[in-house]
Amino acid sequence: MENSVIDIKGDLLLVPEVTLALETRKGTRPSFSEAASPDLGKILFDDLSNKLRETHDKLEVGIFGADMEIKLINDGPVTFLFKSSDSK
């Protein structure tokens, strides 16, 4: 974890994932009340992918709103979930 993705010339995979914003503390069904609206979510996702393209040549981007199947092989001891305290 001493080198950045730029240092190792690594690839990035950016996948929109609404289930990361699920609330599961109440009831038997998950709530999406903390998730951004689909329109705002697409704007934020597109903004992030455009920013990443400015500095990363090896970027693959999923399709917002699509039903996608991905396979992930982690190379390392951790997977990071980034959350901004400014979100909402």
Alpha-carbon distance of 16 to 64, in angstroms, equals 6
Q: Please check whether residue 5 is in contact with residue 32, taking contact to mean a CB–CB distance below 8 angstroms.
A: no
Q: Is there a contact between 12 and 69 (Cβ–Cβ < 8 Å)?
A: no
Task: Read off the tokens for 50.
Answer: 């455009």
User: In this predicted structure, what is the pLDDT of residue 13?
Assistant: 86
pLDDT of 36-62, one tens digit each? 788 998 999 999 999 999 988 899 998
Does this model's pTM top 0.85? My answer is no
* Domains with residue ranges and CATH for the chain: 1-88 (3.50.80.10)
Are 80 and 3 spatial neighbours (Cβ–Cβ below 8 Å)?
no
Q: What is the pLDDT at residue 51?
A: 95
